[in-house]
Amino acid sequence: MAEIGQDLAQAKRLLESGELVAIPTETVYGLAANGLNAQAAAKIFEAKDRPSFDPLICHTDTMDKVERFTQNIPAQAYALAEAFWPGPMTLLLERQSNVPELTVSGLPRVGVRIPNHPQTLKLLASLEFPLAAPSANPFGYISPTTAQHVDDQLGEKLSYIIDGGHSEVGIESTIIGFENNMPTIYRLGGLSVEQIEDVIGSVQVKAHSSSNPSAPGMLKSHYSPSCPVILGEKLEEMMKAYAGKKVGILGFDYGLEDVAAEDQFILSVKGDLKEAATRLFTGLRYLDSRKLDLIITTQVPDTGLGRGINDRLRRSAAKG
Ligand code: TXA
Ligand code: MG
């Protein structure tokens, strides 16, 4: 098991010597290492059992530092950075040659984010290099939103986890790149399409493809508990189809009376999408611990944060 604590000086020491540290962010916890050091970044791929074609996001704390490892930043990227950083948004920017191939899986762009979490911002301010950090879960499993989640899954693989409480947003950052100057969303997430369009006008969304060459990590199946997740229209109808099985329910704003309360997790009784996003991965993990035959769930309203939640639900239900 890793040590869980709030010692930023210790975290800094470990990171400066090329070691892994798990860091809290407002979206999910990240498994961090020096993003400009290939040997350090390699430890991330190894610990997560992550394929090397899936690039890492580099986190830092100021635009000045972003400019030390990126170039030719489009005006719209500056406008988005100004509006939403620190926050749940990742920009794909042209990289400089100081970013190792491994960090970006050989791609011409690097994912960059200034996360909005007080301890992590303080840590980043104390470092000369950006922190490459994917979500701190084994590849393909549910993303972590507490220090304990990280320890449960990856505790053997690293020595220190910074405890920053429960991640407030609860789903990963929205990823935005620019294709011939056209802003493009590659992953729906904690920042809504509506919020982005308010700042830079219309954007295209390319987040649904199962094999998107611009974002190789956007695999169709992800966020998967150990039992099947079935995504349907109505919980009541689905229940009938699985009579005799031990069924768990991941409900948006209600559950079913004939299923044991402890086999149900309601995302937001009041139907609030923000609350639902915060609780989504905790709910999936909880149900996964119940040793069920399957989990049934339905989509949430497909607006605002709901689009990011639905993307995660579709992918946790996808096979293969
Ligand atoms: O909220 C988040 O973004 C969290 C926290 C820790 O910041 N991080 C996160 O990282 O979700 P990860 O590795 O689980 O997902 C990042 C995805 C990758 O799967 C990859 O597809 C895409 O971002 N990505 C990163 N860098 C890219 C690049 N240079 N080009 C294309 N896609 C990239
Ligand atoms: Mg991830």
pLDDT one-digit tens code per residue, 83-128: 999 999 999 999 999 999 999 999 999 999 999 999 999 999 999 9
Please list, in sequence order, all residues whose beta carbon lies within 8 angstroms of the beta carbon of residue 173, skipping any fewer than 6 positions away: 27, 57, 88, 89, 90, 113, 115, 187, 189, 190, 191
Q: How confident is the model at residue 278 (pLDDT cuts 50, 70, 90)?
A: very high
For the chain, give the longest Cα–Cα distance. 59
Q: Tell me where in the chain the CATH 3.90.870.10 domain(s) lie.
A: 3-205
Q: What is the identity of the amino acid at 81? A: A
- In this predicted model, which residue has the larger pLDDT, 35 or 179? 35
Query: Residue 176 C-alpha to ligand 1 middle, in angstroms?
Result: 11
Q: Which sign, positive or negative, has the C-alpha torsion 91, 95, 96, 101?
A: positive
- Atom 33 of ligand 1, nearest CA residue: 215
C-alpha–C-alpha distance, residues 136 and 47, integer Å: 9
Ligand 1, CB within 6 Å, residue ranges: 25, 27-28, 30, 54-57, 90, 92, 104, 107, 109-111, 113, 115, 133-135, 172-173, 175, 214-218
Asked if 158 and 21 count as a contact pair (C-beta separation under 8 A), the reply is yes
Pick from 25, 66, 90 the residue to mutate for probing ligand 1's pocket: most ligand atoms within 8 Å of its CB.
90
> What rounded mean pLDDT belongs to the chain?
94
Task: Sort 156 into a burial class: Cβ within 10 Å, 0-12 / 13-18 / 19+.
Answer: exposed
Query: Residue 263 C-alpha to ligand 1 middle, in angstroms?
Result: 32
pTM of the entire structure? 0.95
Pick from 21, 49, 143, 172 the residue to mutate for probing ligand 1's pocket: most ligand atoms within 8 Å of its CB.
172
Query: Residue 244 C-alpha to ligand 2 middle, in angstroms?
Result: 34
Please list, in sequence order, all residues whose beta carbon lies within 8 angstroms of the beta carbon of residue 315, skipping any fewer than 6 positions away: 219, 220, 221, 222, 223, 224
Please list, in sequence order, all residues whose beta carbon lies within 8 angstroms of the beta carbon of residue 77, skipping any fewer than 6 positions away: 91, 93, 176, 178
Q: Tell me where in the chain the CATH 3.40.50.11030 domain(s) lie.
A: 229-317
Nearest ligand to the CA atom of 54: 1
**Percent of the chain's residues with pLDDT above 70:** 96
Query: Residue 271 C-alpha to ligand 2 middle, in angstroms?
Result: 26
pLDDT at position 243: 86
Query: Residue 2 C-alpha to ligand 1 middle, in angstroms?
Result: 24
**Has residue 155 got a pLDDT over 90?**
yes
How does strand 3-5 pair with strand 160-162? parallel
What's the fold here for domain 3-205? Answer: DHBP synthase (3.90.870)
CATH superfamily entry for domain 229-317: Threonylcarbamoyl-AMP synthase, C-terminal domain (3.40.50.11030)
Q: How confident is the model at residue 279 (pLDDT cuts 50, 70, 90)?
A: very high
pLDDT at position 280: 98
pLDDT at position 302: 97
Residues, CB within 5 angstroms of ligand 2 (ion) = 135
- Atom 17 of ligand 1, nearest CA residue: 217
pLDDT digits (tens, 9 = 90+) for 283-293: 999 999 999 99
How does strand 182-187 pair with strand 204-205? parallel
Asked if 199 and 80 count as a contact pair (C-beta separation under 8 A), the reply is yes
Asked if 186 and 175 count as a contact pair (C-beta separation under 8 A), the reply is yes
C-alpha–C-alpha distance, residues 68 and 252, integer Å: 43
Pick from 21, 27, 28, 57 the residue to mutate for probing ligand 1's pocket: most ligand atoms within 8 Å of its CB.
57
